[in-house]
Amino acid sequence: MDFLKAWFQRTFSDPQIVLLALILVIGALIVFGLGAMLWPVFASLVVAYLLEGAVQLLQRFGLGRLPAVIIVFLFFLASLFLLLFGLVPMLSRQLTQLLTALPNYISQGQELLVELPRRYPQLVSEAQVNAVTENISVEIGRWGQQALSWSLASVANLAGLVILLVLVPVLVFFFLKDKDRIIGWYVGFLPAHRDLVSRVWTEVESQIANYVRGKFGEIIIVGSVAYIAFLLLGLQYAALLATVVGFSVLIPYVGAFSATIPVAMVAYFQFGWGWDFGWVVIVYTIIQILDGNVLVPLMFSEAVNLHPVAIIVAILVFGGLWGFWGIFFAIPLATVVNAVINAWPRQAVVTGDA
């Protein structure tokens, strides 16, 4: 007890540490208490981080801040328009086609399961196959109910979605246009002596910016390459599967394996066992190998440097807390924790002469 008391007095006697701890506590309270209401603001901040690099690039070519922001923002609006009226309808159409073909896929899968006890009686019994089939039927029914409730909720929230599509671009524009004013307003609440906070913020801001831009670029590149490859191979639902593959990079190590399942299943039910199926698996494996061994080191050379165990723990913790956005920000949030730990003052270890 005396040890903890001495540590507390020694640590929090420094005003810089108290300030850093206070900022972390307030930030956590805001995220936990208001996260559900402020997620459009968080989403707008992510987009602003993505676009800030392009704004700075135009400024280096001699443009002023406002003209650069306007040009980049117009490009963002054009991309958003293309996404909403080009990619989304295509994905919706392919998803509808996949759901229509799903009963046929399920029946083919059940026939394959029924054949297993006949071909491999020593490994698989009919009772095991029946149990698996019943579990699949239960899960399909549950998924169907969830899909129905989700569709009804989507119709009910359509007005909110329209408002969101207007609100996020407006927030993005002002985050870009008034970046210095917003940061200045925030800094105005801090004391003059804030070296520790400034050091942590500089490291975290750089890490988050690199991560968000790099991860967005990785999603676009991996998804585009997968789409072209699936089209050339004649794979059905190419856009839908490529989107799944692209977003799978958000979850390191686990995402690639998870995306393999729908790609392999669609390829098998379309082509069966054979070279067409084999080529899909081979090309998909090559894409994942190039992503992990070439693209990621190239795009994230200046980004996060965390141990794989720390990354997986961060994904589990923050994903469990905040769902999709927790998964997306798991690595940046882990870098925040890492930066605080690295910047936290340590007591010097005094060693005596032997």
Query: Is 65 exposed, middle or buried (CB count within 10 Å of its CB: 0-12, 13-18, 19+)?
Result: middle
Residue 155 lies in a domain: no
| Alpha-carbon span 223 to 248, nearest angstrom | 9
pLDDT confidence bin for 70, thresholds 50/70/90: very high
pLDDT at 156: 47
Q: pTM for the whole thing? A: 0.70
What's the average model confidence in pLDDT over 33-45?
A: 74
Residue 64 lies in a domain: no
pLDDT tens readout for residues 121-145: 766 666 766 776 667 666 666 665 5
Pair 201, 322: CB distance under 8 Å: no
**pLDDT higher for 231 or 211?**
231
27, pLDDT greater than 90: no
Report which secondary-structure segment, H or E, holds 59. helix 15-60
| Alpha-carbon span 82 to 85, nearest angstrom | 5
228, pLDDT greater than 90: yes
Residue 336 lies in a domain: yes
Share the mean pLDDT of the chain.
Answer: 75
Residue 167 lies in a domain: no
| Residue range of the domain that includes 311 | 194-344
What's the average model confidence in pLDDT over 267-284?
A: 87
333, pLDDT greater than 50: yes
214, pLDDT greater than 50: yes
Report which secondary-structure segment, H or E, holds 180. helix 179-187
Residue 202 lies in a domain: yes
pLDDT at 227: 92
In the chain, the percentage of residues whose pLDDT exceeds 90 is 5
Residue 282 lies in a domain: yes
Winning range, highest mean pLDDT, from 20-24, 61-65, 143-147: 61-65
264, pLDDT greater than 80: yes
What's the average model confidence in pLDDT over 206-233?
A: 84
**pLDDT higher for 191 or 3?**
191
Which residues have C-beta within 8 Å of that of residue 194, sequence separation ≥ 6?
16, 19
Residue whose structure tokens are 């990619």:
87
pLDDT at 74: 92
pLDDT at 152: 47
How many domains in the chain? 1
pLDDT tens readout for residues 5-17: 655 555 555 566 6
pLDDT confidence bin for 226, thresholds 50/70/90: very high
pLDDT confidence bin for 56, thresholds 50/70/90: confident
| Alpha-carbon span 47 to 173, nearest angstrom | 10
pLDDT at 352: 47
Residue 259 lies in a domain: yes
Pair 273, 238: CB distance under 8 Å: no
Helix, strand, coil percent values for the chain (each to nearest 5): 85, 0, 15
Residue 76 lies in a domain: no
pLDDT confidence bin for 354, thresholds 50/70/90: very low
| Alpha-carbon span 296 to 313, nearest angstrom | 20
